[in-house]
Amino acid sequence: ELKVEQNPLFLSMQEGKNYTIYCNYSTTSDRLYWYRQDPGKSLESLFVLLSNGAVKQEGRLMASLDTKARLSTLHITAAVHDLSATYFCAAPYSGGGADGLTFGKGTHLIIQP
């Protein structure tokens, strides 16, 4: 059974600082997804990482995937208050690409002025 673990689960940081959220998964997977969720809202797709070594960047967020280490990272550069949200990583339920997703518990990120 696939397990997805995120670290840390809670993070409070100041604007302008850099930080990294880690996502480990327990079985082989060829892809990894990152989502954002604002309080009371649904999930917004951020990144789809499709292969080992994949790196994607959007604004102050950069995501990477190491399938050999079963590790993905979400790096935040020069954080701003608008990035405060809960961030989830997810991998396909049974390792393949055609499945429902298994999500981590999420990282609740608070960015203070």
Partner 1 sequence: DTGVSQDPRHKITKRGQNVTFRCDPISEHNRLYWYRQTLGQGPEFLTYFQNEAQLEKSRLLSDRFSAERPKGSFSTLEIQRTEQGDSAMYLCASSLAWLNEQFFGPGTRLTVL
Given the rule CB under 8 A, which residues bind partner 1? 4, 31, 33, 35, 41-45, 48, 50, 88, 90, 92-93, 97-106
Nearer to partner 1, 2 or 80 (CB): 2
Quote the CA–CA distance of 59 and 57 in Å, as a whole number: 6
Question: SS3 breakdown of the chain: % helix, strand, coil, rounded to 5?
Answer: 5, 55, 40
Nearer Cβ to partner 1, position 46 or 111? 46
Residue 90 Cβ, how far from partner 1 at the closest point, in Å? Answer: 7
Nearer Cβ to partner 1, position 100 or 113? 100
Residue ranges with strand state E in 26-96 = 32-37, 43-49, 55-58, 61-66, 71-76, 85-92
Query: At its nearest, how many Å lie between partner 1 and the CB of residue 52?
Result: 17
Q: How far apart are CA 40 and CA 105, in angstroms?
A: 16
Q: How far is the CB of 25 from partner 1 (least distance, A)?
A: 13
How near is the Cβ of 74 to partner 1 at its closest, in Å? 14
Beta bridge partners of 101: 92
